[in-house]
């Protein structure tokens, strides 16, 4: 099975996440994309301390009409600092496949700070989506001293084990969770930036006010 894993804080999920995941899944022919909200994000302060339960529920509402999108509570239920390598290993075991790990260019540019970063590239393909404001840097500039050689391909790189690092251009939507949070805080509308069901849920629960 061609499986995508889309990790993130999803605080909250927005149309930038959804549209880019949709485009990636179509482009790569993914049969499933699993959204995995993190428990405690290791690299950022979790703004507003929104509990995993609420971030999960918003994702559930956002993806419920898309047959190939799925939600996993793996990281939230683990209840410990979320490391993507653990999630990738879990999905490999569960689905017996090398997954496609989907992330934005901004996140990829910071990947060497991730737990066990060098080993990540032998466990999953990495799909790097363009994102407004995030420059694409040469691979050596991001990874530094490469622990293993990557050979160029038409869409990125491939290592000796066959795992790819690929760059995909997606429709540029300059939407971020920070933007959603600050609009809510200021009492302004988030309509057309998140799905209607997510907008309703955030309003109903009074999140980010």
Window 98 to 117, contacts with ligand ATP (CB under 6 A): 103-104, 106-107
Angle (CA) 76 18 171, round 5°: 140
- Report yes or no: 194 and 13 within 8 Å, Cβ to Cβ: yes
Structure-token pair, residue 85: 């390598």
198 binds ligand ATP per the rule CB under 6 A: no
Structure-token pair, residue 95: 């689905």
Structure-token pair, residue 148: 């293993």
Residue 22 neighbours by CB under 8 Å, 6+ apart: 66
Query: SS3 of 128, please?
Result: strand
Of 53 and 148, the one with the shorter C-beta distance to ligand ATP is: 53
For residue 206, count CB atoms less than 10 angstroms from its CB and return exposed for 0-12, middle for 13-18, buried for 19 or more: exposed
Instruction: Tell me how far the alpha carbon of residue 10 is from its chain's centroid.
Output: 8
Query: Residue 32 Cβ, how far from ligand ATP at the closest point, in Å?
Result: 17
Of 135 and 161, the one with the shorter C-beta distance to ligand ATP is: 135
Binding range to ligand ATP, per CB under 6 A, among 11-19, 72-80, 111-119, 186-194? 11-19
12 binds ligand ATP per the rule CB under 6 A: no
Binding range to ligand ATP, per CB under 6 A, among 15-23, 91-99, 140-148, 191-199? 15-23
74 binds ligand ATP per the rule CB under 6 A: no
Query: Residue 12 Cβ, how far from ligand ATP at the closest point, in Å?
Result: 9
Query: SS3 of 196, please?
Result: helix
9 binds ligand ATP per the rule CB under 6 A: yes
18 binds ligand ATP per the rule CB under 6 A: no
Window 135 to 174, contacts with ligand ATP (CB under 6 A): 173
Nearest-CB residue to ligand ATP? 104
Residue 15 neighbours by CB under 8 Å, 6+ apart: 173, 175, 192, 193, 194, 195
Of 98 and 177, the one with the shorter C-beta distance to ligand ATP is: 177
Binding stretches for ligand ATP (CB under 6 A): 8-11, 16-17, 20, 103-104, 106-107, 129, 131, 173, 175-178
């Amino acid at each position: 099975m061609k499986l995508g894993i889309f990790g993130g804080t999803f605080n909250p999920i927005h149309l930038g996440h959804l549209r880019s995941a949709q485009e990636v899944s179509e482009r790569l022919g993914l049969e499933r994309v699993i959204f995995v909200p993190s428990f405690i994000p290791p690299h950022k302060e979790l703004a507003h301390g929104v509990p995993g339960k609420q971030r999960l529920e918003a994702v559930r509402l956002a993806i419920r009409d898309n047959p190939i999108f799925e939600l996993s509570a793996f990281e939230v239920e683990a209840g410990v600092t979320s490391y993507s390598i653990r999630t990738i290993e879990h999905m490999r075991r569960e689905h017996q496949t090398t997954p496609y790990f989907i992330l934005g260019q901004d996140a990829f540019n910071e990947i060497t700070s991730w737990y066990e970063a060098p080993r990540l590239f032998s466990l999953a393909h990495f799909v790097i989506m363009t994102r407004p404001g995030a420059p694409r840097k040469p691979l050596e500039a991001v990874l530094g001293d490469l622990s293993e050689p990557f050979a160029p391909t038409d869409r990125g790189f491939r290592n000796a084990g066959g795992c790819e690092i690929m760059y995909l251009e997606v429709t540029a939507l300059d939407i971020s969770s920070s933007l959603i949070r600050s609009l809510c805080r200021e009492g302004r509308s988030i309509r057309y930036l998140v799905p209607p069901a997510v907008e309703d849920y955030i309003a109903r629960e009074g999140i980010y006010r």
